[in-house]
Amino acid sequence: MHRAAARLPPPGPGPLRRAAAAWPRRALCGEAPALVRASGPGVARRLRGQAGVRPGFLSGPEEAALGRELEPQLRRRRYQFDHWDGAIHGFRETEIAQWSEESQEILQRVRGTAFPPGMSPLSLVHVLDLDKSGYIKPHVDSVKFCGCTIAGLSLLSSSVMRLVSEQNPEDWMDLFLPRRSLYILRGPARYEFTHEILKDEESFFDGQKIPRERRISVICRNLPVPPAPS
């Protein structure tokens, strides 16, 4: 979702629900420092434990197994190059509730890593297939439909995810997402910073080109906590 633009969810049921709104605070996850670069020590401190990358989270065979399961479902859809809210360019997507046993084990591992005990993960898992020319513009995931944690697996391609502070756009953090890694965004990284996936032409991490190929992400989210009754 574009910065500062409050948007409505898409008409009817659909996997994309990105709308800006209020920013409740919550916390915590691990990180690999070599895979993140921040605009300054203040941002690094603020996002420590809130934005992290686990390289090698998936093995090669696990990536292949997920791919085999996802390809037939994705192939039925067309890449879209103009989305309803313009947040994503060159993509197709789906939400999946039923997974093979092998994939369920992987998703359990994601949830066990990303979500503290007692948090309710969304049962639908979001699968986003970005064409080589596709990219994700800066947005904040809808607070209406998605809770404090976003955890995503990257298949087929490495990429760079950029976080930019909504309040001070000069504050940013880049996350290098190697192929087969898991990233986790929580608390301020999820609510107070936009996130985006850079297009191939702009895909650099710490000055180094990170070529963007076709990329499939498998994203687990949790339910928003309902407001306390007044």
Among 181, 217, 220, 222, binds ligand AKG (CB under 6 A): 217
Query: Does residue 141 belong to the site contacting Fe ion (CB under 5 A)?
Result: yes
Tell whether residue 143 is a contact of ligand AKG (CB under 6 A). Answer: no
Kindly state whether residue 222 participates in binding ligand AKG, applying the rule CB under 6 A: no
Closest to Fe ion by CB, 26 or 65:
26
Closest CB to ligand AKG among residues 132, 229: 132
Rounded least distance, CB 61 to Fe ion, Å: 28
Q: Does 52 bind ligand AKG (CB under 6 A)?
A: no
Given the complex with Fe ion, which of 85 and 141 has the nearer CB atom? 141
- Spell out the SS3 assignment of the chain: CCCCCCCCCCCCCCCCCCCCCCCCCCCCCCCCHHHEEECCHHHHHHCCCCEEEECCCCCHHHHHHHHHHHHHHHHCCCCECCCCCCCEEEEEEEEECCCCHHHHHHHHHHHHHHCCCCCCECCCEEEEEEEEEEEEEEECCCCCCCCCEEEEEEECCCEEEEEEECCCCCCEEEEEECCCCEEEEEHHHHHCEEEEECCHHHCEECCEECCCCCEEEEEEEECCCCCCCC
Binding site for ligand AKG (CB under 6 A): 18, 128, 136, 141, 152, 195, 197, 217, 219
